[in-house]
Amino acid sequence: MVFVFGNTDFLLLFFFIFYFEYPYFMKTVSVLKLLLIGLSLLIIVSCNESDDSVPIITLNSSDSLFHVLNQVYVDPGATAIDETDGDISSSIYIENLVNENLVGEYSITYNVVDQAGNEAIPITRWVLVYNTAWVYDSLYYVNEEKIFPEYEQYNYSNFIFADTLVNQRIYISSLAGDLGQFIYADITDSVIVIPFQTAQYDSLSSYTVQGDGVINDSLVKLKYTKTDSDTTFWNSELIRYQ
């Protein structure tokens, strides 16, 4: 327990108690001696003011950041200053983390408590993890030719959309005239590669496909082979709808 006495309050209390409790003592002891005794008993255990100010948290860098999928995320952190304790940034704790390997929007909340137990007002940063291939997300008009073993032509529409797990990977909703058969492709600069992969016609049958080509923000040109019971060669142009 902490007692804080003002000088005059203490002395008045001291004389009051002694006057009523020890009247004989008051008559036999001089006022000066009593004053000295009172001053000697004046003990200030603590005169510190209570700490009720909350720390202030400031974000390092912006409160919203964009981050490329599959790259290591290094959080810029925050700074916490307390009126009494000073810089307590090392005591900041974080709620929620960024999954750098999954496209999405993440919130990071920073908080801190000073030595007196005062909790700061939490502050939040938003981080958007994105696939840089999102620029190709669109509806495309497809002009497709089977060039071997016999010539056939197909025209239809399909979608391209960015993968949520691998950066610079896209999915093409249809190829080789097979609507709804999603094929993935990887992009490096303007080169697009369809790795060898298996696609399902249905639960009982499938085919394999692989190829490559070029890509820009309005046109995709592909050459690829498709193999099921036969092997066929294809050329495709995917023209972005404006």
Same domain, 121 and 188: no
Tokens 């290591």 label which residue?
Answer: 72
Same domain, 155 and 215: yes
CATH number of the domain bearing residue 108: 2.60.40.10
Residue 1 lies in a domain: no
Residue 46 lies in a domain: no
Residue 50 lies in a domain: no
Distances (CA, A) of 112 to 56, 75, 209: 9, 17, 55
Domain span including residue 18 = 7-41
Two structure tokens written together for 65: 């950041």
Contact 48, 58 (CB under 8 A): no
- How many structural domains does the chain have? 3
pLDDT band of residue 202 (cuts 50, 70, 90) is confident
Two structure tokens written together for 162: 């960015």
Is the pLDDT confidence value at 18 over 80? Answer: no
Residue 95 lies in a domain: yes
Same domain, 93 and 171: no
Distances (CA, A) of 76 to 37, 55, 58, 61, 137: 61, 19, 11, 6, 30
Residue of 205, 207, 206, 183 lying closest to 195 (CA atoms):
183
Q: What pLDDT does 3 receive? A: 45
Residue 19 lies in a domain: yes
Same domain, 236 and 137: yes
| Residue 185: burial class (beta carbons within 10 Å; 0-12, 13-18, 19+) | buried
Q: pTM of the full predicted structure?
A: 0.76
Q: What pLDDT does 47 receive? A: 47
d(CA 53, CA 78): 19
Q: What pLDDT does 5 receive? A: 45
